[in-house]
Amino acid sequence: QRVNVTVRSGLPMVLSGSAEPCAQLVVSSIGVVGTAEQNKQHSARFFDVLTAQLGLGQERIVIRFYPLEPWQIGKNRTVMTFL
């Protein structure tokens, strides 16, 4: 219930000056991606999955973490603050 995934394949993308296959993962969450220590652990796990599933080298993957506040996410006609 707390994880949403969107996959957009086939988009033109350049990473580190190269158009070779690559991936960008954007992670946004309430209270889970707010510190460097948290994100270091998440990053390691995501890289393990992404390199195994996509067959990409670690240098071809970038992860962006965005911490959110409960009032920034709408659900069930309200915001997460009230759920």
Q: What secondary structure does DSSP assign to 27-55, as a single string?
A: EEEESSS-SHHHHHHHHHHHHHHHHHHH-
Structural class in CATH, domain 25-82: alpha beta
- Name the band, by pLDDT with cuts 50, 70 and 90, for residue 13: very high
Kindly list the domain boundaries of the chain, sorted by start residue: 25-82
Distance CA 50, CA 40 (A): 15
* 20-42: pLDDT as tens digits: 999 999 999 998 999 999 999 99
Q: Any idea how long the chain is?
A: 83
> Whole-prediction pTM value?
0.86
* 41-77: pLDDT as tens digits: 999 999 999 999 999 999 999 999 999 999 999 999 9
Distance CA 71, CA 60 (A): 34
